[in-house]
């Protein structure tokens, strides 16, 4: 269903930059004032994950900074900051990301207005080994909303609510893997949900018994986002190209960013945990598919 960019991969490791010399992947993406902004996970010579920044005026060709814009801080980030996701919320850009340490992964948040200076809010849901957290781009019934994924099996999508983006409550499971299918071993949110007339559109990833990562699509109720309306049974993107089949981890497409530009969704993803790629799909086509 998705059409890959002709110039994939759009970002590769840069040997001359020690902090991103090995891997660049799993980019957050947001479209604002005619610019696509990417925050991407980068791994360098020390095997620590940092977050880099790139921008584009056309969504296909990107200029990147030569220094990371977000670096690990504290013991809970001793092994890095991983897999950012972005939303514009309350006139600020909010990032969810995974703080990784010897204690395991935790969901953390931060905000910015310019992608260079950040306000950190620290770890949320600290009692859980957790990752794949995405914020909704607006409040629902007066509450902030987050999808997240505790590590404990089966790897499923959960929802939580907050009054202040710091303390989260009423966490519960809302979508599980479907045994024996392409998403039978585990699932997680890919990019943040997109509001549509039919519901909250969610791109999610699924993994099977062979550890192949694919992308799927589902719809959730606008007023009660814990209620799933539909879930397309087939993947919308799966590893096929050489850059998706071979890399740090074989056979992976892992989307973490989506931009709505006119009548098209631009979806940005990590391929084989080594490079960054993009794909497009007509909004109506994807929404009809999600609602099928």
The pLDDT of residue 122 is 92
What's this model's pTM, rounded to 2 decimal places? 0.97
Note the pLDDT tens digit of each residue in 118-140: 999 999 987 789 999 999 999 99
The Cα–Cα gap between 28 and 16 comes to 23
The structure tokens listed for 40 are 């991407």
Nearest to 276 by CA among 9, 17, 50: 9
Query: What percentage of the chain exceeds 70 in pLDDT?
Result: 100
In angstroms, the CA 114 to CA 95 distance is: 12
Mean pLDDT estimate for the chain: 96
pLDDT of 261-285, one tens digit each? 999 999 999 999 999 999 999 999 9
Q: Quickly state the pLDDT bin for 85 (edges 50, 70, 90).
A: very high
Q: What is the domain class of 3-290 according to CATH?
A: mainly beta
Write down the pLDDT at residue 292: 59
Checking if the pLDDT of 110 tops 90, the result is yes
pLDDT over threshold 80, residue 111: yes
Average pLDDT over residues 158-162: 97
pLDDT of residue 162: 97
Q: According to the model, what pLDDT value does residue 128 have?
A: 81
Percentage of the chain beyond pLDDT 90 is 96
For residue 230, the model assigns a pLDDT of 97
Q: What are phi and psi of 289, to 5 degrees?
A: -65, -45
Binned at pLDDT 50, 70 and 90, residue 46 comes out as: very high
Question: Residue 127's pLDDT is what?
Answer: 77
Reduced 3-state DSSP string for the chain:
CCEECCCCCCECCCCCCHHHCCEEEEEEEEEECCEEEEEEEEECCCCCEEEEEEEECCCCCCEECCCCCECCCCHHHCCEEEEEEEEEECCEEEEEEEEEECCEEEEEEEEECCCCCEEEEEEECCCCCEEEEEECCCCECCEEEEEEEECCCCECEEEEEECCCCCEEEEEEEECCCCCCCCCCEEEECCCCEECCCCEEEEEEEECCCCCEEEEEEEECCCCCCCEEEECCCCCECCCCHHHHCCCCCCEEEEEEEEEECCEEEEEEEECCCEEEEEEEEHHHHHHHHCC
Q: Is residue 1 over pLDDT 90? A: no
CB contact set of 166 (below 8 Å; sequence gap of 6+): 121, 124
pLDDT band of residue 152 (cuts 50, 70, 90) is confident
């Amino acid at each position: 269903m998705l059409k890959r960019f002709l110039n994939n991969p759009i970002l590769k490791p840069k040997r001359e930059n020690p902090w991103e010399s090995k891997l660049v992947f799993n980019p957050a993406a947001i479209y604002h004032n005619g610019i696509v902004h990417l925050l991407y996970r980068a791994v360098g010579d020390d095997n620590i994950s940092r977050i880099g920044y790139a921008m584009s005026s056309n969504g296909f060709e990107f200029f990147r900074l030569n220094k990371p814009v977000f670096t690990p801080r504290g013991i809970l980030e001793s092994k890095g900051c991983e897999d950012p996701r972005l939303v514009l919320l309350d006139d600020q850009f909010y990032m969810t990301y995974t703080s990784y340490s010897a204690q395991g992964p935790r969901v953390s948040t931060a905000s910015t207005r310019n992608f260079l200076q950040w306000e950190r809010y620290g770890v949320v849901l600290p009692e859980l080994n957790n990752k794949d957290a995405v914020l909704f781009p607006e409040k629902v019934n007066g509450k902030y909303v987050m999808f997240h994924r505790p590590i404990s099996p089966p790897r499923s999508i959960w929802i939580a609510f907050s009054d202040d983006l710091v303390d989260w409550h009423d966490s519960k499971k809302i979508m599980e893997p479907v045994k024996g299918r392409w998403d039978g071993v585990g699932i997680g949110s890919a990019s943040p949900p997109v509001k549509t007339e039919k519901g909250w559109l969610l791109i999610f990833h699924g993994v099977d018994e062979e550890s192949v990562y694919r992308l799927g699509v589902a719809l959730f109720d606008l007023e009660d986002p814990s209620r799933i309306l539909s879930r397309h049974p087939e993947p919308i993107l799966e590893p096929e190209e050489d850059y998706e089949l071979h890399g740090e981890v074989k056979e992976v497409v892992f989307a973490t960013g989506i931009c709505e530009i006119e009548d098209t969704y631009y979806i940005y993803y990590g391929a084989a945990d080594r490079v960054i790629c993009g794909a497009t799909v007509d909004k109506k086509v994807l929404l009809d598919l999600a609602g099928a």
